[in-house]
Amino acid sequence: MSDLNAEWIIETTTENFRQDVIEQSMERPVVVDFWAPWCNPCKQLIPMLEKLANEFAGRFVLVKVNVDDCPEVAGAFGVQSIPFVVAMVNGQPASHFQGIQPEPQLKAWIESFVPSASAEAFDQGQQLEADGATELAEAAYRNAVQADPDKAAYKIAHARVLLALDRQQECREILDELNARGFLEPEAQALQQQLELRSQVEDSGGVQEARSALESNPDDLSLQIKLAEALGADNRFEEACEMCLAIIGKDKGDIGTKAKEVMVGILGVMGPKSKLASELRRRLATAFY
C-alpha cells in the first residue's frame, strides 16, 4: 500500500511531525493524510494520494499520519473521522477535506495550492538570477517558457538573462515574438532599448572610446552620459548607475533628465529581485530632491 521509497512520501511520527510537516511546508506544500490501518476508506485513498505524489514528483510532499500512533497530532488538528487530509502551506493549514474523493477531484484540489511546474521554474530562475548564477537562471527560465509558452513574463525574464549573457540574437528573437502581438510590456521595452544601445555603443567603439573622449573633456556631462551608456551596455551596471547619479547631482535639467532615462533603462534589465537594483532605484527616486 505504501511507496515510501519516494522522497516525497513520508510516514511521520509525533516527534518528527514539526520537521516533516510544519518546517517542510515553508519550502513546498505538504499534504497530511490522517489514516489508520483498520480504516477501509483510508486504504482506498492512500494509493490515489501516492500516485499523485509521484506524478507531481516532489512539487508537494505527502506525509502520512497514523492516528493510532500519533493521537496528539490528530487531536491538535481536530480530527474526528478519517481519512482526514490537510494541505499545509507556509506552516499553516490551507485547505482540507474528509472522506474519499475521486481522483480527478483530488488532483484538482492539489493543483489549487501547488505551484505549477512553470511557476516553480520561474521562481527558481528569479532566485538564481538574484544570486548572480546567470547561466543557471537562463536554463530555469527556458524551462518555464517551455512549460508555459503563453506566459509573457517568463519570456521577458528569459530575454533579460540572455542579454546579460550577451546572447543578443536570441534575446532579439524573443522580443520580436513579443512585439508581434502589437505591444511590449515596459520591461520588454527597456530590453529592446538596451539592445539598440548596445548596437550603437559597439558601432562607436564601446567603453574605451567613450572613456577616451571623456578624458579629453572631463567636465562635459554629455560625454559622461555616453560613458554611462557604454558601461551599461557592457553589463557594468553599478558603475554606469553611479555615473548617472553623479550627473543628476550636478544637473537637474535636461542633462540630468537624460541621465535618469539612461539609469531607468539599466535598472530595467537588472532583474526584479536584484538587491543592488532596489538600492539604486531608491537612490534615484531621491536624487531630484
Q: pLDDT tens digits for 84-112?
A: 999 999 999 999 999 999 999 999 999 99
Domain 203-287: CATH superfamily is Tetratricopeptide repeat domain (1.25.40.10)
pLDDT band at 271 (very low <50, low <70, confident <90, very high): low
Of 257, 234, 226, nearest to 243 (Cα)? 226
39, 70, 241, 244: the active-site residue: 39
Could you confirm whether 42 is annotated as catalytic?
yes
**Candidate CATH numbers 1.10.3720.10, 1.10.287.1060, 1.25.40.10, 1.10.1740.10; the one for domain 117-180:** 1.25.40.10
pLDDT band at 158 (very low <50, low <70, confident <90, very high): very high
Mean pLDDT rounded to a whole number for the chain: 91
Could you confirm whether 241 is annotated as catalytic?
no
pLDDT above 90 for 275: no
Backbone phi and psi for residue 218, each to the nearest 5 degrees, phi listed first: -65, -20
pLDDT above 50 for 40: yes
CATH architecture entry for 9-111: 3-Layer(aba) Sandwich (3.40)
Give me the residue label for grid cell 484538482: 108
- % of the chain exceeding 70 in pLDDT: 96
pTM above 0.75, yes or no: no
The one-letter code for the residue type at 142 is R
Grid cell, residue 6, equals: 519516494
pLDDT above 90 for 204: no
Q: How far apart are CA 214 and CA 223, in angstroms?
A: 6
Selected residue with higher pLDDT from 6 and 187: 187
Bridge pairing between strands 9-11 and 61-66: parallel
Which residues of the chain form CATH 1.25.40.10?
117-180, 203-287
Of 171, 173, 239, 233, nearest to 198 (Cα)? 233
Which residues of the chain form CATH 3.40.30.10?
9-111
Of 276, 277, 204, 274, nearest to 234 (Cα)? 204
DSSP assigned state of 144? H
Contact yes or no for 158/138 (Cβ under 8 A): yes
